[in-house]
Amino acid sequence: MATYLSFPILDILVQSVEDSPSSADAVKAVASGILAHYFPASNGFAVTPVSQPQPQPNRDTLTLRIQRHRHVPGYPAPSPDRQGLVDHIVTVAKANCDAETNEVEDLWLTMKDLEHTLDHANTESGRCWGLMVYATTFTFYEYHRDLPEDRRLVCRGSYHVRCDDSEIDRELRYLARADASFTRDGGASD
């Protein structure tokens, strides 16, 4: 099965991130393009940017919510008192840090951005998927609101945008299924 790299525009976006991993625009474009490919509106998804105050003005991140309509096959019809869309995946995209920034601190702050956004996500069960796109790396997480703070993100795997395209493809295809559960072992199975 062809991955996102088989689409020329997405391959060009991936190349732009590889050429310039510290370019915030390139990282945002590759994250937006790949997610829009796997989560189209025709399948009941909405990929929307989140406007939120950043903890530090120089942190150039893009936060995206991938929402699905509550009433899809495998899910009960929404009750009238609940919103029709629910957060399915929350993504934070961030370029590689510059030479003046400590990379470990930058990664930690990006994870905190992701966790903070997930803490305020509209979920059905307090659980949601998280994705951090940091330069050329896609890292998948499960988010569990009932776990202690700073332990709510459970890492599912970290992959390079080009070298691991089949693994990223498998993960995103799994997450695009309406019945994507949190009980699977290891990587996605399709």
Tell me the pairing of strands 61-69 and 45-49.
Answer: antiparallel
Asked if residues 152 and 118 have their Cβ atoms less than 8 Å apart, the reply is yes
For residue 162, what pLDDT is reported? 96
Q: Which two tokens stand for residue 156?
A: 């599912």
Classify residue 29 by burial, with Cβ atoms within 10 Å: 0-12, 13-18, 19+: buried
pLDDT tens for each residue of 42-81: 888 888 888 755 555 456 788 888 888 755 555 555 444 4
Helix (H) or strand (E) holding 47: strand 45-49
Q: For residues 144 and 154, is the Cβ–Cβ distance under 8 A?
A: yes
Query: Tell me: the pLDDT tens digits for 88-133?
Result: 788 888 887 766 667 777 888 888 888 888 888 877 678 888 999 9
Structure tokens at 179: 């019945």
Dist. CA 17–CA 38, nearest whole Å: 19
